[in-house]
């Protein structure tokens, strides 16, 4: 088959398997096989694939048709314009999480007189948030924690891949307990995309998520708020005065999480930000004087 025929075959195969955005998925996987940019698929649509390329492509499409995510098939994902390694030990970075980083970088501007900044990233997973913060804030030091040893291995590789391994410290442990005994007693910014899927939601997730992504990175307790309760309660002791906390949230969770922050009485300037779909996605606050 040539490039054009290969895409049409793959698109139809994925549509039959109920894969959303079948055309884009087919193009993405073919670009991975050929090692080209998207425009090449159109410019060279009549170019015949080699026997090896066709064989590899068909195998990848067969895997995707079984609802395995493309990012796990290729072993990489893009986040904030950077490339990250992903495995089944890590959650796949989502575009909406870029809003969390966007807002954290804006918060960093308010702390410009504090250089270098100390940042804590909880539930780091692939390390995409921690590494991106280090890349965008040269001179900052990021402490990134996760309970999964396997995920931290991938995260450390991503720090090496993006040349910030000297400024991102990965620590194994349960949320803030991983920081005990480290210099990260107080942070200027704490941010996290914690597990937030509730018990009622977890069984209705798409196969790509529930079958392939690590459940420990998804499940946030019966109501999805278990991690928020702990983080919101414990964070004030880890924030410098005027420091920021930013948390990603799931659909419909914003008012409950705002309530948790207001009940704590140690945060000020609490605000909620919507993503491009209009979903209230990120909540932020600052540490007050009554820490």
Rounded to the nearest 5 degrees, what angle is found at the Cα of 281, between the Cα atoms of 122 and 195? 40
pTM score of the predicted model: 0.92
User: What CATH number belongs to 3-66?
Assistant: 1.10.8
More confident of the two residues 1 and 99: 99
Share of the chain above pLDDT 70, in %: 99
In whole numbers, what is the pLDDT of the chain averaged over residues? 93
The two tokens of residue 220 are 């946030």
Residue 284: pLDDT band by 50, 70, 90 thresholds?
Answer: very high
pLDDT number for residue 176: 94
Confidence of residue 290 (pLDDT cuts 50, 70, 90): low
pLDDT (tens digit per residue) in 64-86: 999 999 999 999 999 999 999 99
Whether 89-287 and 3-66 are alike in CATH topology: the answer is no
- Domain extent listing, the chain: 3-66, 89-287
Tens digit of each residue's pLDDT (9 = 90 or more) over 31-62: 999 998 889 899 989 999 999 999 999 999 99
Mean pLDDT (whole number) for 150-178:
96
Q: What is the pLDDT of residue 140?
A: 93
Region 213-223: what's the mean pLDDT? 91
Which DSSP string do the residues of 34-99 spell out, in sequence order? HT--HHHHHHTTTPBPPHHHHHHHHHHHHHHHTT--HHHHHTEEEETTEEEE--TTSPPP-TTHHH
Give the lowest-confidence range in 33-42, 105-114, 117-126, 143-152. 105-114
pLDDT tens track for 239-279: 998 899 999 999 999 999 999 999 988 999 999 999 999 99
Q: Render the burial of 51-90: b for 16+ CB within 10 Å, e for the rest.
A: eebbebbbebbeebbebbbbbbbeebbebbebebbbbebb
pLDDT tier for residue 185 given thresholds of 50, 70 and 90: confident
| The pLDDT value given to residue 33 | 95
pLDDT surpasses 70 at 289: no
Average pLDDT over residues 131-143: 95
Is pLDDT at 184 greater than 80 in this prediction? no
CATH for 89-287 is 3.40.50.150
Answer whether 107's CB lies under 8 Å from 65's CB: no
Contacts of 26 (CB under 8 A, 6+ apart): 6, 7, 10, 11, 14, 61
What local confidence, expressed as pLDDT, does residue 228 receive? 97
């Amino acid at each position: 088959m040539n490039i054009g025929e290969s895409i049409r075959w793959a698109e139809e195969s994925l549509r039959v398997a109920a894969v959303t955005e079948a055309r884009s998925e087919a193009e993405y996987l073919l670009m991975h096989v050929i090692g080209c940019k998207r425009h090449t698929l159109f410019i060279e649509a009549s170019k015949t694939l080699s026997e090896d390329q066709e064989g590899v492509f068909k195998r990848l499409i067969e895997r995707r048709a079984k609802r395995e995510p493309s990012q796990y098939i290729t072993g990489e994902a893009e986040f904030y314009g950077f490339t990250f390694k992903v495995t089944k030990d890590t959650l796949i970075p989502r575009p909406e999480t870029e809003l969390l980083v966007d807002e954290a970088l804006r918060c960093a501007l308010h702390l410009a007189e504090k250089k270098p900044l100390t940042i804590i990233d909880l539930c780091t997973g692939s390390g995409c948030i921690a590494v991106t913060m280090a890349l965008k804030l040269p001179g900052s030091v990021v402490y990134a924690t996760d309970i999964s040893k396997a995920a931290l291995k991938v995260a450390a590789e991503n720090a090496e891949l993006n040349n910030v391994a000297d400024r991102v410290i990965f620590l194994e442990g349960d949320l803030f307990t991983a920081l005990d005994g480290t210099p990260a007693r107080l942070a200027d910014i704490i941010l996290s995309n914690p597990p937030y899927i509730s018990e009622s939601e977890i069984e209705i997730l798409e196969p790509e998520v529930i079958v392939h992504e690590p459940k420990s990175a998804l499940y946030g307790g019966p109501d999805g708020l278990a991690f928020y309760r702990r983080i919101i309660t414990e964070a004030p002791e880890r924030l410098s005065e005027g420091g920021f906390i930013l948390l990603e949230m799931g659909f419909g969770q914003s008012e409950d999480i705002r309530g948790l922050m207001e009940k704590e009485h140690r945060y000020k300037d609490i605000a909620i930000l919507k993503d491009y779909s209009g979903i209230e996605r990120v909540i932020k606050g600052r540490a007050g004087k009554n820490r």
